[in-house]
Structure 1
Amino acid sequence: MFLIGLAAAIRSKSADFFYYGTLLMLAGTIAPYLWRRAYQYGLAVPDTPLRLPHPSDPLFDEVLGHLQKVDGPRAYYISRFGKKRIPLNRRQFFGRLRYFLFSEQSNDRAIVMRFPTAMSLPADLYLHREDMEKMLAMNAPKRLGGPGRNVKYAYVEAAFDLRADPRLATLDLNDEVAAVRSLTDWLDEWFDSAANVSGEIPKRDRLTPYARKIYAHLKKSVSPDGR
């Protein structure tokens, strides 16, 4: 009986050793992935993008800003088996290593953990063409309207171009009203023709003060006493 009990005890200890040894091996294997996941996303579910461990870049932040929105574009990857499109959770782009998703090196992209698991993210991410077009449209410079727009550089460019206009020689500088009217017409023509470049078409009443300044400069340049 003693020998039977001893053998049973040895088998029990061997089983326990094997059991706990297996657990330790599994923990040692999974621990690095769990640590990387915790470092990237924290211990809780991130509700906002986490602070970057490196300097930010406006271009990356602009693209990521779209992907982080609730109603923003949905990035996806292609599964290895079945070739299905698997959408990503937007919180995938909240992690500290989110910039690595744009790396040219697949090894860099693979270190970003798949949210909310501790598995490495597939190397290549994709966006639907429609989503890309929306992002480009949202980032395109918008044409301003109304009297409050800032077009001082366009005005300066128009005035410089007008200096070479041969019609200036036909102005009757003794008739200020007619001269200012003509200068206003020519400035209006310039903005109409350059709209595709400057994107600014101010109203006529905003051109008149600049026309008066051009008239005053012309009048002064031809006056012998500078008045």
Structure 2
Amino acid sequence: MKRILLKLSGEALAGDKHHGFDEPTVTVVAKQVKQLVDAGVQVGIVIGGGNFWRGRTSETIDRTKADQIGMLATVMNCIYVSEIFRSVGMMTSVLTPFECGSITKLYSKDRANKYFAHNMVVFFAGGTGHPYFSTDTATVLRAVEIEADGIYLAKAIDGVYDSDPKVNPSAKKYDQVSIQEVIDKKLAVVDLTASVMCMENHIPMYVFGLGETNSIVNAVNGQFNGTVVTVD
């Protein structure tokens, strides 16, 4: 059975509004994930918090506190997206590395595996639970812990480029790139800590644009126009 870790960009889930949630966009994501679950794929999900909070741009808020606000943004995102998933017929659970009362369950690998065994989609909210670590790092950490076959990065951009395509219209898109090249050229697929963890634990990444038709299903089935980040 295949087990994947899907990282969803908070900004991508906001759609054209660029803030908060765009329910039609999230519903499209939910229906695609349901196709995977119905086909026997076990799906874990991490969601960024950028549709609510970009704390590192603030010079007035302490970094630790800013990161904690960001962690809570990811919890809100996971609760919302989890409910949309339920509305299309999936069972879900939201796990956090810190107590949130009765709102979420406390994360452990054993608990995640138990939920996977019951055909549930597991949301890993709250990052790593510590400041100075991004949701990129949380994504790779959870992927390593749950022994995922691969990390699928659904972004607002459709792959990995040699420079920012928003700034440079001549930016070159990679069909395939090694994790070592990502690190050496600082290609910003994920942050450096996450990149090194991927390399050390031999977990490939698949980067694609969330907005493309059937993008998640196509990516998992190997039929996509994004970028494969290799680790061998």
Answer 1 or 2: higher relative contact order, Cα 8 Å, separation at least 6: 2
Q: TM-score range by the shorter chain?
A: under 0.3
TM-score when scaled to structure 1? 0.22
| Structure possessing the higher radius of gyration over alpha carbons | 1
Higher share in helix: 1
Task: Tell me which protein shows more strand as a share of its residues.
Answer: 2
